[in-house]
Chain A
């Protein structure tokens, strides 16, 4: 059986974002104060460090119906906690494999580095993920 998905023009994907407090959350703040306009699909959850992001959070978000998940933190070497982001980066490789093995397009998840001074970079990352997810269409698990 093949399912056809009709995407209306107004469809806005639902994207959960985990941003570290020190770099990317502040980067998103800067995007705001600089009045940089970016897609409204993302809902930011503030965590202290991307090292806090348990891969299960990402999988759970997809399971609960997120069309995409963004994890955004400090550049490697710039972590407020010296190395939490490196731990996240190590987990990310495994997470991508897990997502792929679950039959989910890994383009639905994105790990990016954006510092507190990179409002534009943060906004560009959101835009890129939103575009990708829009092209992929709404995410539904096969058994749903």
Chain B
């Protein structure tokens, strides 16, 4: 592809029905655009993204031999992939497409000022036309994918994902930092819906994992280093028992590092008495058939649960999120122990038993005479201890009564929070985290299993608080993502990467310190040594280019010239050329 061809730009202004055209004078905007430098053709149309709109673009590319296309419509975050495909179908390189955001950034936010909105639209199109003239076709690159997936975390999500990948015939390695597989699920007694023993579920999965031909299990092990990129990650795994390290080459990674149950250290009533425990601790007692008061060693007669401890309490105890498993787990635990206790009382803020079969668990707790009382979230219950006996006072806001209960055992149903070491995992795999500390998905609706690091998937409670049902569902999804990547065998990578101009590089190393990915190394065979970008590791942020004091780094598709051209087209409009169709 010739890079010095004369730009022949087509401008396509979209009405988006009434969305844009209702505020912006699209006809005028298109008419003016026709007179900008290098513009061979400009028009406006009802819906550019419709089949007929797409056909119009392809037809005009052919008719006017256009080699650059500007579409002024909605946000590129919405339809850039659509229009890139359209221009590619007409043999225009995808990187020679430029989109102007006339809807989200103009018509919708300046609805009451149609004139100012039209002026803004005219400016924005002029800016994009100036940039389009400087766009360069880029090669669409592919890299091969190593048919091997790494699963980090051997809880229920990690096990499910690893078994699924194995069943598709691909090699998979499961890394777990604990000596045993099973994660948090192995600490539970019985699981809601069906009352299956958690240990049975885990044993079945572990057995399936152990007999899987393509699955390697590494317990007592942690990932200590990750290099490389989608399709070709070089991972170092350290065995903490033997201190030996092993290097693996994998094509995809699934992070299923799970959660930990919050322990409200130092926050009363926790710590006021040995008989104040968390639901996680109660579950371990139930699992071992040793439901005893820690202070006396005797079975409790009266048990009280308090819900939403540390969940849904923004600013108070730091966790804003709903932990999404605890309501059902709490009512199930309460129902379970009615047979061996005299009284069970649940103090709740809200009860959300939303999942399949959860409401039945809730109903069974009522049928087994578990008492429920709703407290006022602004006035939490007050716990006191006298002579080792617990007393809890609160106001029931449905009855309007002040109530008191003397439990032998007080169970705090605490939040699900990210596990210890989550910061390290986030750094290793370059994952971002949401305000609640869990890993961010690429897009909550459109890409919930992939992350911003290409080739790295997330599953289970690593992504957000959830129960084992949802975790395994996600794990199977993430496994399918990994398997489809490996099945394809190769993957397209973005060409919008940094490139070093050797003759300008002054070997100052500023770029290497700026790069968040360690994608810049140095060619020491040259004197002085020259910065080199490993393109597959470059994510295209451009921090190196902005930092380079010698302007030796070209950010492809976001060059200094392309950015400056937009600024100048805005502030120093070019003289209007005498007629776009001549």
Q: Which residues of A contact B (CB under 8 A)?
A: 12, 14, 16, 21-22, 25-26, 28-33, 35-38, 40, 43-49, 51-55, 57, 60-61, 64-66, 77-84, 87-88, 91, 123
Contacts and interface: CB of A to CB of B under 8 A. Distances in A.
Contacts of B105: 28-29, 32, 44
Contacts of A66: 567, 570-571
Chain B interface size, as a band, is 35 or more
Interface stretch (B116-124, B156-164, B180-188): B116-124
A36 B111 CA distance: 9
Interface string B504-526: 00000000001011000000000
Contact of A35 (B109, B119, B546, B570): B109
Interface string B83-105: 00000000000000000010111
A140 B511 CA distance: 34
Interface stretch (B273-281, B409-417, B556-564): B556-564
A79 B516 CA distance: 10
Contacts of A43: 120, 123-124, 127, 570
Nearest to B560: A54
B112 interface: yes
Nearest to A16: B567
B432 A80 contact: yes
A57 B567 CA distance: 8
5 contacts: A40-B120, A49-B541, A60-B564, A80-B541, A82-B430
Given A14-B571, A61-B567, A79-B432, 5 more contacts: A43-B124, A51-B541, A66-B571, A81-B543, A82-B516
Interface in B351-380: none
A18 to B, nearest CB: 8
A51 B514 contact: yes
B134 to A, nearest CB: 14
Nearest to B119: A40
The residue among B516, B558, B567 with the most chain A CB atoms within 10 A of its own CB is B567
Interface in B529-582: 539-543, 545-547, 555, 558, 560, 563-564, 566-568, 570-572
A32 B103 contact: yes
Contact of B541 (A12, A35, A40, A52): A52
B572 A35 contact: no
A14 B452 CA distance: 34
A65 to B, nearest CB: 5
B75 interface: yes
B101 to A, nearest CB: 7
A54 B546 CA distance: 4
B109 A123 contact: yes
Contacts of B558: 47-48, 52
Given A43-B123, A57-B564, A81-B516, A29 B571 contact: no
Contacts of B113: 40
Contacts of B527: none
Query: Would you list the 3 A-B pairs with minimal beta carbon distance, nearest first?
Result: A52-B542, A32-B104, A51-B543
B76 interface: yes
Nearest to B514: A87
A49 B123 contact: no
Contact of A61 (B77, B547, B571): B571
B109 A81 contact: no
Contacts of B123: 43
Nearest to B120: A40
B438 to A, nearest CB: 13
B108 interface: yes
Contacts of B542: 47-49, 51-52, 84
Contacts of B517: 81
B60 interface: no
The residue among B103, B109, B452, B571 with the most chain A CB atoms within 10 A of its own CB is B109
A82 B540 CA distance: 12
Contact of B111 (A30, A35, A79): A35
Contacts of A36: 109
B496 interface: yes
B541 A29 contact: no
A16 to B, nearest CB: 6
B110 interface: yes
B516 A83 contact: yes
Contacts of A78: 432
Nearest to B99: A46
B147 to A, nearest CB: 28
Contacts of B127: 43, 45
B340 to A, nearest CB: 47
Nearest to A56: B560
Contacts of B540: 48
Contacts of A64: 567-568, 571-572
B362 to A, nearest CB: 32
A42 to B, nearest CB: 8
A61 B123 CA distance: 15
